[in-house]
Structure 1
Amino acid sequence: MLDVRRMQVLRAVVTSGSVTAAARNLGYTPSAVSQQVAALEKQAGVALLERVGRGVQPTAAGRLLTEHAAAIGKQVAEAETALADLRAGRTGHLSIRYFATAGAALVAPALARLRRDHPGVRVDLKLIDPEDPLPEVKQGRADLAIVVRPGGGHSEGIRLVHLLDDPYRAVLPRGHRLAVKRVLDLADLADEPWVGNEWPAGPCLEVVLDACAAAGFSPNFVVESEDYATAQGFVAAGLGISLMPRMGLGNRHPGVVVRKVRKPQPIRPICAAVRESSPAEPALRGLLDALREAAAQ
């Protein structure tokens, strides 16, 4: 196999016209340059230089290797530039997984800031409801996922970065007897028919069920829905009441009223999940900073 460094020494000799000049340009001794060329000729099995007057010129094989050495040098320089851009966060690729209600409130403003600060970074954005995105993060198919993790939950190889706590609200039909209260005790809802808003069941339902258990009851779900908008429609129609996270109530149905809940107040913790082994690349750090900023606002 030809030695790339020796090929670059040969290129220096050919472009400068002599071993002495190449040695001076490279900071080597003439004997060291001659030794490198001789070793390359041995690898190639053919003469690479021929003496002409006081200088040297390449043989056909020497010209061939010099041309390839120039191409390799250009590729190495391009690789070094690309690597420097990646290290500085000027380029790169981030794969993000998120759930629906985190999209508008967190992901959209975070990506706007990322685009401003790191315009050369490509983003692969994918909605993951109702799948658990952590396996994708663990296996390297995603760099970051927005997740709900009740109780802080731990997964080996995953680092959870807390972004915000999203409190639940009671959603009642307009004109419901409990709508006269500004704040409801969770136990006030014990005997009501309930409209579910997460199917299939996931961590958000776990938050609701744990809070209801702490208040001493288990909710009676009479209708199941897959999303908050549809669930609000069922509530507005008088089919039951519901608990929904504040982030899920951005588009409020005109036929419902929303009230705070206490004793206890259900809260879903929203986190960014990244691999513990993820390198501290500027683009990923920038995305985490942008998510924290969006959560704070």
Structure 2
Amino acid sequence: MLDVRRMQVLRAVVTSGSVTAAATNLGYTPSAISQQVAALEKQAGVALLERVGRGVQPTAAGLLLTEHAAIISKNLAEAETALADLRAGRTGRLAIRYFATAGAALVPPALARLRREHPGVQVDLKLIDPEDPLPEVERGRADLAIVVHPRQGPMRRGIRLVHLLDDPYRAVLPRGHRLAANRVIDLADLADEPWVGNEWPPGPCLQVMLDACAAAGFSPSFAVESEDYATAQGFVAAGLGVSLIPQMGLGNRHPGVVVRRLRRPEPVRVIHAAVREAALGMPALRGLLDALRDAASD
């Protein structure tokens, strides 16, 4: 295999016209330069230089390697520039996964800020809902995922959770409901009500609600199942049951429902950004985390 450093020495000799001149330019002795060229000739199996007067000129093989040395030098310079841009966050790619309500509230402002601060970074953004997006990070398919935590089972090593916000659940009742006049409702007071589900297939958000109901001493009886918060509100407004919806999921409130705080207990889904620790050295990822935290605090 040809030695790249020796190819660059050969290039210096050819472009300067002599071993002595190349030695001066590179800060070596002429003997050291000659040894490097001789070693390269041994690797190549053919003469690379021939004497002309007091100087040297390349053979056909020497000229060929000199041209390739120039290409290698150019490619290395471009690679160093690209690496510097990547380290500085000027280029790169971020894979982001999220679930719907986090996408509506957190991801848009954070992504807009990322584009302003790191315009050269490409973003691979995908909605993973209602499934848990955390496995995408654990399998190395994503750099960051917005997740509801805790979840069942241990998390793989190399994943870090960054807390974003606590999102409390609210009771969603039809207008005219017997509890609609209360500002705060005990969760147990909803035990005998028909319930409207709002997550199918079941995911971590539903589990938070079921665990809270269990702590209040009952299991909800679902009369109607729906796949999203907007549809669930429509069923509640029609008087088909009550529902629990996280506050972040109530951005578009149905006019036929009332929303009340809960207690004893108050269900809360804890939202984190799950990131690969190996990717935390990327300035763009750190910038995105800062933007998500700011969006959550707003």
TM-score by length of 1: 0.97
- State yes or no: 1:223 paired with 2:245: no
Match of 2:274 in 1: 273
Match of 2:22 in 1: 22
Match of 2:164 in 1: 163
After superposing the two structures, state which structure 1 stretch, 56-65 or 273-282, moved more: 273-282
**Alpha-carbon distance between aligned partners in 1 of 2:13 and 2:152, rounded to the nearest angstrom:** 64
Counterpart amino acid of 1:43? Answer: Q
CA displacement, residues 25-53 of structure 1 (integer Å, 9 cap, x when unaligned): 11111111110011111111111111112
**Alpha-carbon distance between aligned partners in 2 of 1:154 and 1:290, rounded to the nearest angstrom:** 28
After superposing the two structures, state which structure 1 stretch, 73-82 or 25-34, moved more: 25-34
Instruction: Kindly indicate whether the alpha-carbon contact (under 8 Å) linking 2:99 and 2:147 is maintained by their aligned counterparts in 1.
Output: yes
- State yes or no: 1:73 paired with 2:56: no
Match of 1:100 in 2: 100
**Alpha-carbon distance between aligned partners in 2 of 1:114 and 1:276, rounded to the nearest angstrom:** 19
Unaligned residue ranges in structure 1 (runs of 5+): none
**Alpha-carbon distance between aligned partners in 2 of 1:240 and 1:211, rounded to the nearest angstrom:** 18
How far 1:130 sits from its partner (Å)? 2.1
CA displacement, residues 261-293 of structure 1 (integer Å, 9 cap, x when unaligned): 111111000011122443521111111111111
- Helix, strand or coil for the counterpart of 1:175? coil
Query: 1:107/1:194 Cα in 2 relative to 1: closer, same or farther (>3 Å)?
Result: same
Match of 1:36 in 2: 36
Query: 1:62/1:198 Cα in 2 relative to 1: closer, same or farther (>3 Å)?
Result: same
After superposing the two structures, state which structure 1 stretch, 55-64 or 70-79, moved more: 55-64
**Alpha-carbon distance between aligned partners in 2 of 1:287 and 1:153, rounded to the nearest angstrom:** 27
- Helix, strand or coil for the counterpart of 1:178? coil
**Alpha-carbon distance between aligned partners in 2 of 1:281 and 1:192, rounded to the nearest angstrom:** 50
Equivalence map 1:47-58=2 (5 Å): 47-58=47-58
How far 1:192 sits from its partner (Å)? 1.1
**Alpha-carbon distance between aligned partners in 2 of 1:33 and 1:194, rounded to the nearest angstrom:** 85
Query: 1:279/1:181 Cα in 2 relative to 1: closer, same or farther (>3 Å)?
Result: closer
**Alpha-carbon distance between aligned partners in 1 of 2:192 and 2:296, rounded to the nearest angstrom:** 35
Counterpart amino acid of 1:257? Answer: V
After superposing the two structures, state which structure 1 stretch, 76-85 or 16-25, moved more: 16-25
**Alpha-carbon distance between aligned partners in 2 of 1:147 and 1:37, rounded to the nearest angstrom:** 59
Match of 1:64 in 2: 64
Instruction: Kindly indicate whether the alpha-carbon contact (under 8 Å) linking 2:195 and 2:223 is maintained by their aligned counterparts in 1.
Output: yes
Match of 2:83 in 1: 83
Query: 1:206/1:275 Cα in 2 relative to 1: closer, same or farther (>3 Å)?
Result: same
Instruction: Kindly indicate whether the alpha-carbon contact (under 8 Å) linking 1:150 and 1:207 is maintained by their aligned counterparts in 2.
Output: no
Query: 1:152/1:116 Cα in 2 relative to 1: closer, same or farther (>3 Å)?
Result: farther
After superposing the two structures, state which structure 1 stretch, 151-160 or 271-280, moved more: 151-160
TM-score by length of 2: 0.96
Runs of 4+ displaced beyond 6 Å: none
User: How many matched pairs?
Assistant: 297
Match of 2:186 in 1: 185
Percent identity, please. 84
- Helix, strand or coil for the counterpart of 1:169? strand
- State yes or no: 1:194 paired with 2:177: no
Instruction: Kindly indicate whether the alpha-carbon contact (under 8 Å) linking 2:280 and 2:286 is maintained by their aligned counterparts in 1.
Output: no
How far 1:185 sits from its partner (Å)? 1.3
After superposing the two structures, state which structure 1 stretch, 70-79 or 285-294, moved more: 285-294
**Alpha-carbon distance between aligned partners in 1 of 2:215 and 2:193, rounded to the nearest angstrom:** 17
- Helix, strand or coil for the counterpart of 2:185? strand
Instruction: Kindly indicate whether the alpha-carbon contact (under 8 Å) linking 2:132 and 2:204 is maintained by their aligned counterparts in 1.
Output: no
How far 1:154 sits from its partner (Å)? 4.1
Match of 1:128 in 2: 128
- Helix, strand or coil for the counterpart of 1:10? helix
Equivalence map 1:204-223=2 (5 Å): 204-223=205-224
**Alpha-carbon distance between aligned partners in 2 of 1:240 and 1:120, rounded to the nearest angstrom:** 49
Root-mean-square deviation over aligned CA pairs:
1.4
Match of 1:256 in 2: 257
How far 1:153 sits from its partner (Å)? 6.8
Counterpart amino acid of 2:114? Answer: L
